[in-house]
A and B are shown apart, each in its own frame.
Chain A
Amino acid sequence: MRHNEQWNTFFAVEKDLPYRPHMDRTKELSRLSLCAGAASRHCPPLSFWALIQKQLRFFVWKIWFLQGMILAALCTACLYLYERTSLYWFADILPRFLCYSSGIVVLSAVPILRRSSHYRMIELEQSTRFSVVGSLAAQLLFIGIGDLVMLVVLALIVWQHGLTGSVIFISLVIPFLTTAATCLMLWIRTAPSGFERRAVLLGLATTLLMNQLLAWYRNSPLNGRLWCWYPYAFLCLVILYRECRKLTIGSCSENMIC
């Protein structure tokens, strides 16, 4: 009887022991033990920003070279149109030219983003400390910087030819954000084998749709009301942020491998 009471008391106490913190502490100690093992062989590992810096010499010149070539082609096309068309027609087609250019700027990233899967590096990269996320995050960062420069140069050129800031925002920035958001969503959800073709089709479709939408906007009562585009731009930025976040936490990497 006494033994039974002792056992009952023992189990009653055991039930009250918090399991979750104990498990968390066990995991933490295991991680520290593994880190100590690794640290005994190496110095502290590279930080994420040190990895980004190292990626500069591996990839950035390729990315920016490609974007530079595309930008040069777009600027040449713009100047060609300026010289060969009347000012009236030029003013009319310039917003459309900007819309299509924004799609081209987004699609210039496709050959870069498919490299990992095309050259079968994605599986190897995924098994490393920074996994495929580190490599892709670096590429997206450099691509983003290049895209920003391309957009600014295009905006400056057309601004010098008489387009206002609001028209540039609606014709260049809004289609760019829309196409970028849809292509990024596609990239994260599509197997590598189908991405390139689908991205080009989606990019073209989105650009055409935006062009039609902007044409409608210019002829509608909303014309001139720039404020109605702000929530839309904000929504696109939120989508871009969320998709980039999904990428960084690695929840989509299995799609990229299979």
Chain B
Amino acid sequence: MELILEHVSKQFKDRQNIKKAVNDVNLQLSPGVWGLLGANGSGKTTLMRMICGIMKPTSGHIRYDGVSIEDLGDTYRDVIGYLPQEFGFYPEFTVRQYLEYIAALKGLPDKVARQKIDELLTRLSLEDVYKKKISKLSGGMKRRVGIGQALLNDPEFLVLDEPTSGLDPGERVRFRNLLSEFAQNRIVLISTHIVSDIEYIATQNAIMKNGAILQTGSTQELVVQMEGKVFEAVINPQDVSRWEQKVQVVNVRNEADGSVSLRYLGNPDDIPRAKLQEPRLEDLYLELFPRK
């Protein structure tokens, strides 16, 4: 099982400009959890839409096990599950009705759909709310319904665009565990801004900027390039804004004694008495996508 993207590009034309949302992407997705990292507007959603067959690439090919996904048609869509970033629902549907509706569109026979829906309602802790209208649910529960619909057809390839937005930390942990369990012998592609989600579960990552893939690799392989660049220094609270203008700050933490710990990217001399830190994926993210 393998999904290969070869020189995939997508451009959009409006009246005056041509914008290249995805620019010559080459990627080989094998079973496991893949994290797709990138800032807003880097082309992640467009790439995911092309992978799901919702949009056609302007150029290039996407092949599943060697065959173009266009040639595979509805057979390919049988094996994918997709949760879009802007996850919508018809407001009059209850949770169960919604899952039944999506199950019908996925071509699941009645009996199979019913079994699968019952199983997912339990796994996603939605048994108490299945008769409620989706519009009445909290943000986290709505997101769980969205994840549920993506898993209805037991997909071999799961594409999740910002799946954990709106989930509290407990739900994010539960979601990570669900994905890790699901991802054995399957391809899971997650795009997110919450770097810690990727860090814990992704076996491979791809970093995207301005429509192109900057780097790919495991978290360890990517993070190693930040060694020697991440430091932490203890400063006075009133100096925080001054240092924020001089160095790339990753994190500001208030200490119990009233001082502030500043984690930053740069050199040890930038702030006096700075100590070298173990780099994390978030540090690499901020190095590649600095805050303006």
Interface residues of A (CB under 8 A from B): 26-27, 30-31, 33-35, 37-38, 41-46, 51, 54-55, 58, 115, 119-131, 134-135, 253-254, 257-258
Contacts and interface: CB of A to CB of B under 8 A. Distances in A.
A129 B91 contact: no
A207 to B, nearest CB: 30
B149 interface: yes
Interface of B: 12, 49, 52-56, 64-67, 71-72, 74-80, 82, 84, 86-91, 97, 101-102, 104-109, 111-112, 149, 153-154, 156
7 contacts: A30-B64, A34-B78, A119-B91, A123-B88, A124-B88, A130-B106, A131-B105
B107 A45 contact: yes
A46 B106 CA distance: 8
A43 B72 contact: no
B156 A42 contact: no
Nearest to A44: B109
A239 B52 CA distance: 31
Given A33-B65, A121-B90, A123-B54, 6 more contacts: A30-B66, A34-B78, A35-B78, A42-B112, A120-B87, A129-B74
Contacts of A135: 105
A42 B109 contact: yes
A167 to B, nearest CB: 41
A125 B86 contact: no
A129 B84 contact: no
A171 B41 CA distance: 52
Nearest to B73: A31
A121 B89 contact: yes
Contacts of B54: 123, 126-127, 253-254, 257
A141 to B, nearest CB: 15
A123 B104 contact: no
A177 B102 CA distance: 33
B107 A46 contact: yes
Contact of A30 (B49, B67, B78, B154): B67
B106 A129 contact: yes
A31 B72 CA distance: 6
